[in-house]
């Protein structure tokens, strides 16, 4: 498998589940995931208390399966699963 095939086989999904709606969107990067969460938050006008469990999770989907690789918090900051911030 060449690098182009490997990149094409990788998909990122941002979970946007809230008490108001359930959604996920495809994103190309963690930077885009941060922007999408803030756009969604502002469009629907919800506060942090409306965020359901898993809201802001970024899932990587490959041929091998799916796994959460990062989290985007209410303020758009991105975090590793160990709680350290990922500087974008």
Q: Residue 23: what pLDDT?
A: 86
6-42: b or e for each residue (b if 16 or more CB lie within 10 Å)?
eeeeeebbbbbbbeeeeeeeebeebebbbbbbeebbe
pLDDT digits (tens, 9 = 90+) for 14-31: 999 877 778 899 999 999
Over residues 29-86, the pLDDT tens digits come to 999 999 999 998 898 888 777 777 888 999 999 999 999 999 999 999 999 999 999 9
| pTM over cut 0.85 | no
């Amino acid at each position: 498998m060449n690098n182009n095939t490997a990149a094409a086989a990788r998909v990122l999904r941002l979970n946007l589940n809230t008490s108001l709606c359930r959604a996920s969107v495809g994103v190309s990067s963690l930077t885009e995931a941060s922007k999408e969460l803030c756009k969604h938050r502002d469009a629907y006008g919800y506060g942090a208390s409306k965020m359901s469990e898993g809201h802001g999770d970024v899932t990587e989907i490959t041929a091998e399966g799916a796994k959460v690789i990062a989290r985007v918090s209410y303020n758009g900051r991105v975090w590793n699963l160990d709680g350290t911030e990922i500087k974008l």
